[in-house]
Amino acid sequence: MDIFLIILGIVCLIIAFLGSVLPVLPGPPVAYVGMLFFQLTDRLQFTPQQLIVWAVLVIAVQVLDYVIPLLGTKYAGGTKWGSWGCVIGTVVGLFFTPWGIILGPFLGAVVGELLGDKDLKYALKSGIGSLVGFLLGTVAKLMLCGYFVWQFIAAF
């Protein structure tokens, strides 16, 4: 049974890396489930404190993944129009993978700012802010999933 659970955990870690880049799959939560599979074995054991801290990190990274593009838009000087455009662009972009996932928040923020009567230069600045925010969120997810892989290797 341990071998089966370890294989399931490894599969979860692999899927988690894909999910860190593809928003259709929730990367860090899947990685955490993989760590829980490892915990159920006799070969790999983590402390309850580790599991709690990891759960908090997963929740924080998932929340930040949706908030960071909005913050990027705001930090770049975007308005409510750009923020709403970023949110709508992110949702619409999910249907046009893989490029829609990257360009959706950017184009949404740009279109939102243009609809809010901003000039193109201002709209592009807002869009770049959302794109940078999206990329930072992706890096955070990849780092957390990489940390889980490192913890698995260290415990094995």
Backbone angles phi, psi at 97, to 5 degrees: -70, 150
Q: Residue 4 corresponds to which amino acid?
A: F
pLDDT computed for residue 72 by the predictor: 82
For the entire predicted model, the pTM comes to 0.81
Walking along the chain (156 residues) 10 residues at a time, the average pLDDT comes out as: 92 93 84 96 91 96 84 81 86 82 87 90 88 88 95 88
Which residues span the domain enclosing 81?
2-51+62-155
Amino acid residing at 64: L
pLDDT of residue 59: 96
> Is residue 124 assigned to a domain?
yes
Report which secondary-structure segment, H or E, holds 22: none
* Residue 149 token pair: 């892989």
Number of folded domains that form the chain: 1
| Alpha carbon distance 3, 7 (integer Å) | 6
Q: 57 in a domain, yes or no? A: no
Q: How far apart are CA 140 and CA 155, in angstroms?
A: 23
Task: State how far the Cα of 27 lies from the Cα of 20, in Å rounded to an integer.
Answer: 5
Per residue in 12-37, pLDDT (tens digit) is: 999 999 988 876 788 999 999 999 99
Give first-to-last CA distance, the chain, whole Å.
16
DSSP string across 128-141: HHHHHHHHHHHHHH
Alpha helices in the chain (DSSP H): 2-21, 27-39, 48-75, 80-93, 99-115, 120-155
- Determine the pLDDT at residue 73: 79
**Residue 56 lies inside a defined structural domain of this protein:** no
Residue 36 lies in a domain: yes
Residue 97 CA to its chain's centroid (Å): 15
Q: How many C-beta neighbours within 10 Å does residue 153 have?
A: 8
